[in-house]
């Protein structure tokens, strides 16, 4: 009887090992694929908030009541602030400028200038309902990766929105996107 029991245990052990090896070979390809996934830098919430505050303060110092939005690389809102007295339209304009800058990875002022020079590119405005091609949106580039966008709306001129957005980039160590004033 004891001999039979030992034989059954050995058989079960062999079957268990075979099952485990088979299952391991089934999952091995998925492990190799996981190693091949692209790694992406992520704009941290603290940095997004810091950029918003710096841009708001820069505009406030110059007497402009604006809204500032920061989006991640996919254009999803990460942080937003609206100065006391800023117009309600500035909320959407700042978010859409940030979305546009992150999406096309260029300053929105550059796009506006390009469309003015090459009218056949007007269709860029209609890519989707979130695109807004007015100055004030800058891509956020850190360590060579575009990780998001910042948008400012409400100052009396696109160049002023750009300047405040650049202050937000400077506060988080992002690559400058607005040429320095001469």
For residue 1, the model assigns a pLDDT of 53
What number of helices (H) and strands (E) belong to the chain? 5, 4
pTM of the predicted protein model: 0.80
For 65, the enclosing helix (H) or strand (E) is none
d(CA 29, CA 160): 53
Q: Which one-letter DSSP state was computed for residue 98?
A: H
**Residue 35 CB burial class (10 angstroms; 0-12, 13-18, ≥19):** exposed
What average pLDDT does the segment 12-27 reach? 59
d(CA 74, CA 89): 23
d(CA 102, CA 63): 27
What average pLDDT does the segment 21-27 reach? 56
For residue 40, the model assigns a pLDDT of 87
d(CA 15, CA 4): 16
What average pLDDT does the segment 41-48 reach? 95
Tell whether the torsion through CA atoms of 10, 16, 19 and 20 is positive or negative: negative
Please determine, for residue 25, whether its predicted confidence score (pLDDT) is greater than 60: no
């Amino acid at each position: 009887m004891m001999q039979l029991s030992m034989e059954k245990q050995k058989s079960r052990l062999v079957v268990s090992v075979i099952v485990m090896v088979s299952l391991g070979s089934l999952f091995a390809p998925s492990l190799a694929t996981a190693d091949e996934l692209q790694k992406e830098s992520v704009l941290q919430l603290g940095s997004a908030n810091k950029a918003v505050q710096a841009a708001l303060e820069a505009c406030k110092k110059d007497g402009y009541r604006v809204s500032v939005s920061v989006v991640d690389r996919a254009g999803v809102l990460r942080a937003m602030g609206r100065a006391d007295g800023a117009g309600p339209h500035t909320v959407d304009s700042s978010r859409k400028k940030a979305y546009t800058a992150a999406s096309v990875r260029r300053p929105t002022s550059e796009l506006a200038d390009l469309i003015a020079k090459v009218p056949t590119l007007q269709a860029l405005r209609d890519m989707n309902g979130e695109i807004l091609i007015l100055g004030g949106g800058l891509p956020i580039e850190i360590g060579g990766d575009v990780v998001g966008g910042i948008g400012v709306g409400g100052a009396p001129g696109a160049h002023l929105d750009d300047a405040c957005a650049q202050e937000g980039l400077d506060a988080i160590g992002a690559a400058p996107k607005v040429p320095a004033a001469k």
